[in-house]
Amino acid sequence: MTQRVDLATVMDRLAIDDLITGYAAAVDDADWTGYRALFTPDGRADYRGSGGIEGPAAEVADWLAETLTLFPVRQHLIVNRRVLFREAGGYQESGDGADIRADYVNPMRFATGEDFVCGGRYAFAALRTGDGWRLSSVVVEERWRRL
């Protein structure tokens, strides 16, 4: 592998990290325009693993905007990010697609003042586009929750 490929891979990893961080910030800040902009035009989100819906990212953003009013305070902590780049032939050290697995802890507060915390794993798929890396899908797998 050449230094040029190494540098490109590092830059891609940083861009993907920024994309995932942007996802968390958009949800936490109720920035639904920003949320939609993180996705490819045909991007999808699947929140069924946490009791939600699945569908086109724009429709899911509308659902999130309504549902998350129950939690005026929320904060995503997304950790343990694992990025696997892919091309048509399979996984490799760089490429125009990536599968990202990341764990999350999500403390929130109900409007009533009660605290709620859940955790689990995200499965993100990202594609390199003319506008940079964008999410083609997000799947949420909630593993635990408590009041």
Q: What is the pLDDT of residues 117-127, one digit of tens each?
A: 999 999 999 99
Q: How far apart are CA 104 and CA 106, in angstroms?
A: 6
Mean pLDDT of the region 76-97? 81
Q: State which H helix or E strand residue 32 sits in.
A: helix 32-37
C-beta of residue 86 within 8 angstroms of C-beta of residue 92: yes
Which 3 state secondary structure label does DSSP give 71? coil
Higher pLDDT, 63 or 93: 63
Residue 91 has pLDDT above 90, yes or no: no
Residue 1 has pLDDT above 70, yes or no: no
Q: State which H helix or E strand residue 63 sits in.
A: helix 57-67
Q: State which H helix or E strand residue 13 sits in.
A: helix 3-28
Q: How far apart are CA 101 and CA 88, in angstroms?
A: 20
pLDDT at 86: 84
Least confident piece of the model among 4-8, 41-45, 59-63: 4-8
pLDDT at 90: 59
pLDDT at 6: 77
Higher pLDDT, 91 or 14: 14
